[in-house]
Amino acid sequence: MASIAPLSGIKVVDLTKLAPGPHCTMILGDLGADIIKVEEPGAPTGRRAEQAAAAGKTQRRGTGLGLHNALGRNKKSIGLNLKSGPGREIFLRMTQRADVVVEEFRPGVAKRLGIDYPMLSARNPRLVYCAVTGFGQTGPYRDYVGHDLNYIAQGGALSMIGRKDQPPTIPQNLLADYAGGGMHAAIGVLAALLARHQTGRGQYVDIAMLDGTMLLIAQALSNHFGKGWIPRRGATTLDGSAPYYNLYLTKDEKYITIGSVEPWFYANLCRALGAEEYIQDEYNSARFDEIKARFAEIFKTKTREEWWEILTRNDICVGRMLTLDELEHDPQIRARNMIVEVEAPTGEKVKQVGISVKLSETPGSIRSLAPRLGQHTDEILADLGYGQHDIERWRSEGAIR
């Protein structure tokens, strides 16, 4: 018997464009939700045109990387001009039948468009409305612009990332955009849907990437509040000061990572490296530089794969630093289906990241690849009860695509 997806029957209207929102709706789509991505029809104008020109893009590409863009999978696309009368009316009808709306406008924009939570919830009290922003809907910074780097700086995380006596390391846009924003938004939506099951009403979900970033450093903040501890980069056990939690260059100029924090794992490591004399110095920080230097010499004597074989056999916390082109060949990643191949309508085979949440009874799935802008406009409008004559007229007026 075919399994039922956990979010089967949940309809999500997706107004997002950048990383956090599409990541949230990708997660919901992977778990079975029906995602309708609302995209602006036509060529960019105004500030969007300036941004496109600055990025060297003369045409709007609704799905960025096309079929290969994992953030666009399991979604349908409708081209809709929300500033037009028909576009706004279509949107309102869509949200009357929806369970969730996800947007990442700057605070106040949705209200100016007439599609904010009070407006939509008056028509659909069961609607869950999730807004993802950098600083949230309240507070003195609510109207400030920013990106991932700004939020992790303001949230304290950036101060902790990097090597000793070096400037902070910029960790791509992983923390605020994807973890602090997208994943927290998905959690918020799921919690609100569960609450609706109990109360019968939807609610407003206010997600700030600043807030999400701070939750990611909860343990460090707890240590600070309890002990007054402020971590210095490269000076703590988990960020490079200790020889047993570090990375080392191997003979073939690749990296091996060691995470042998516990005494028994550290002892195993010293024995495997032929450096038993350091077993008693696990907590002797005065010798850390000496031990790291010695370990570095030893790791340069064999290749990364040779060390991987030796250390995994000896019950040692170890990992190879794989580059993206190596991931699909790793047997564990293959066994967990974290690189998958999906067939496009054209017959093209497209590789993407797999589904991280493994559910035994109601697993998620990749049912479709990223759509073209407006690919499903006619289908969606027909489902809403609009006739072909209206669809053709609105398309000619630029209200839809």
Name the residues annotated as catalytic.
147, 177
The count of C-alpha atoms lying within 13 angstroms of the C-alpha of 280, restricted to the half-sphere facing its C-beta, is 1
DSSP string, 225-276: HHH-----TT-SGGGTSSTTEEEEE-TTS-EEEEE--SHHHHHHHHHHTT-G
Residue 146 in tokens: 């920013």
165 touches 3 (CB < 8 A): no
**Angular region, 331: left φ>0, alpha ψ -120 to 50, beta rest:** alpha
Sign (positive/negative) of CA torsion 47, 51, 53, 54? positive
Nearest one of 106, 108, 123, 132 to 188, comparing CA atoms: 132
| DSSP codes, 171-200 | -TTIIIIIIIIIIHHHHHHHHHHHHHHHHS
Helix (H, G, I), strand (E, B) or coil at 312: helix
Query: What percentage of the chain's residues is helix, strand, coil (to nearest 5)?
Result: 45, 15, 45
Q: Is 88 helix (H, G, I), strand (E, B) or coil?
A: helix
Rounded CA-CA distance 90/191 in Å is 28
Please report, for residues 5, 22, 33, the alpha-carbon distance to residue 2 in angstroms, rounded to integers and kept in the order given.
10, 28, 17
- Element spanning 130, H or E: strand 128-133
**Strands of the 245-249 sheet, one edge to the other:** 245-249, 255-259, 318-320
Joined together, the tokens standing for residue 350 give 């497209």
Q: Could you give the CA distance from residue 298 to residue 313 in angstroms, rounded to a whole number?
A: 18
**Residue 20 to residue 179: CA distance in whole angstroms:** 8
Q: Which CA distances in Å does 100 have to 3, 129, 207?
A: 23, 6, 14
